[in-house]
Amino acid sequence: MKDTLTRPTRRPRALLALLPLLWPCALLAQQGTQAADSGSIVVDRHYAIVNVDNIPADSMLYIESFSVDAHVPTDTVFMRRWFAAANLARVEVTYHGHPVAGMQSDGKTLFRTLDTARRAWEGLPADRYHIDISGYDFRGPLYRWRTDGSELYYQGEWEFEGHRVRRVFVMSPNRYDRNYLFEKESGLLFFVDERDTHSDNMATGDGEHVRWRAYHEYTPLGTSLYVSQESFMKDNVVTVTYHTYRLLPRRSEPFVSDQITLPRP
């Protein structure tokens, strides 16, 4: 099969120019909190539209991502990800050409993380791996909300900068509490507001956490839609990330290889 390269074609209506306005105080509530099952309907509609599970059985999804500090455009982080069915996954993150993070699994018994000091892979307990790999999941943090034990609370339709949105408040055992905003017309997720509250079971460091994340463009690949441009703010710095997606012939090497970095396909 031929490799497939995607180009951005579909965009939700949240734009970079609106980022300074994307705060909860800018939202005017139109309806009170409704039943939790209404929240699941909004989330399930989004995932039905993007259809990210539809990776052909003979293929694997390859993603290249460039993250750029909006104030220092030469300060870039490069990430590569391979995903296939049955939880096959590999992540490589480099900064100025040096590996700074990595994860890998064959979906069965091999669960590893990259020890950057030793420049070697080391094993992880399966449950720890599944928590850590979720931060790299191209399907987004809500993809496994049911199995993660998250609680969803639908907060109705809101007016935001002239657009109608649906807001879902999510409490997760492994993340900060978040407000998810979905555009009513398209059904697509376009903004996440991260709160300071979190589960008592969640381990937190002393550093600042992400304050918000915006999804600016979606791009089609086959019958799926993937985020091709997003941004987030942390420590009062906005970082913009650009993603490209390809379907490659499926092979086992990325998910079991001991190499620290693989050649670009």
CATH number of domain containing 175: 2.50.20.10
- Residue 12: predicted pLDDT: 52
| pLDDT reading at 88 higher than 60 | yes
Residue 123 lies inside a defined structural domain of this protein: yes
Those residues whose C-beta lies under 8 Å from the C-beta of residue 261, and which sit 6 or more positions away, are 92, 94, 99
What DSSP assignment string belongs to 6-38? ----B--S--GGGGGG-SGGG-EE-S----HHH
pLDDT over 70, % of the chain: 83
- Residue 46: predicted pLDDT: 97
Query: For the residues 112-124, what does the mean pLDDT come to?
Result: 95
| pLDDT reading at 14 higher than 60 | no
Residue 174 lies inside a defined structural domain of this protein: yes
Short-list 82, 99, 207, CA closest to 133: 82
Q: Which domain holds residue 103?
A: 28-199+208-256
| pLDDT reading at 207 higher than 80 | no
**23 falls in which pLDDT band (50, 70, 90)?**
very low
Query: For the residues 245-258, what does the mean pLDDT come to?
Result: 96
For the entire predicted model, the pTM comes to 0.83
Q: Tally the domains of the chain.
A: 1
Find the DSSP H helices in 166-251: none
**203 falls in which pLDDT band (50, 70, 90)?**
low
Give the span between the Cα atoms of 134 and 13, in whole angstroms: 26
- Residue 83: predicted pLDDT: 96
| pLDDT reading at 165 higher than 90 | yes
Query: For the residues 155-179, what does the mean pLDDT come to?
Result: 88
Give the span between the Cα atoms of 78 and 96, in whole angstroms: 8
Residue 40 lies inside a defined structural domain of this protein: yes
Residue 217 lies inside a defined structural domain of this protein: yes
Residue 182 lies inside a defined structural domain of this protein: yes
Query: For the residues 110-124, what does the mean pLDDT come to?
Result: 95
Residue 200 has a CB neighbour count (10 Å cut-off) of 5
**10 falls in which pLDDT band (50, 70, 90)?**
very low
Residue 61 lies inside a defined structural domain of this protein: yes
**206 falls in which pLDDT band (50, 70, 90)?**
low
Short-list 176, 217, 226, 189, CA closest to 39: 189
More confident residue, 136 or 205: 136
- Residue 198: predicted pLDDT: 82
Residue 11 lies inside a defined structural domain of this protein: no
**28 falls in which pLDDT band (50, 70, 90)?**
very low
- Residue 248: predicted pLDDT: 97
| pLDDT reading at 209 higher than 90 | no
Residue 22 lies inside a defined structural domain of this protein: no
